Amino acid sequence: MAQRPVIKAEARTEFGKGVARRLRREWKVPGVIYGSHQEPVHFAVPLLDIQSLVRNNGVNAVLELEIDGEQYLTMVKHVDQNVLTFDIDHVDLLAIKRGEKVEVEVPVTLTGEPAPGTMHIQDADVLLVEADVLNIPEELEVSIEGLEDGAVITAADVTMPEDTTLVAEEDTVIVSISLPEVDEELEEAAEAAEEGGADAGAESADEDEKSSDSEEE
């Protein structure tokens, strides 16, 4: 079994916006561990450590959080990011147990290309599934290779990894294939331009012919 990341944090006993701002100035992120069988645990964790974890392991990352020598098996449940710097401002962790199943949203990745001349529209980029907490898939691959106009892939068509079951509605549309829409105004303008060019060419030919006749006279 792969080694779970271990991040050291410090217990947090002070709260409020002022405290949170001070922690961020110290390059720390305030957070909370929630669990159905325990009281919330408040902590502060180094910014670079938690950002590296989310970047490398995704939004459903599982980690061992060590607070004052005690370790908590947790999963990233939610992160708040600064809209300007994209730094993590706050993190919520979910206390988990080995062998437990959890509902999580897993990213959907499209592979391949549809039939020539068609385009695809992805309606859902994540799917809600239930998976073993220590074996959450990083992504769900959906192939659109060679699909023709009118093809639709729903959640029911997505192959689930072992020990993972679909929770989202089976008729949830993942991706659809269609022909590109043609802008009628642009098409008419293009046709008019072509006709105008043809007329101009014909007039030019007539003028050349008249000029040639004049020279011969």
pLDDT, tens only, 80-118:
888 888 888 899 999 988 888 989 999 999 999 999 999
pLDDT, tens only, 197-210:
555 555 555 565 55
Give domain limits for the chain.
6-96, 103-178, 183-212
Q: Quote the pLDDT of residue 1.
A: 45
Q: Which CATH class is domain 6-96?
A: mainly beta
The architecture that CATH gives domain 103-178 is Beta Complex (2.170)
pLDDT, tens only, 166-185:
999 999 999 999 998 766 66
Residues contacting 144, CB < 8 A, separation 6+: 110, 111, 112, 113, 114, 120, 151, 153, 175, 177
- Nearest Cα residue to 12 out of 34, 27, 35, 32: 32
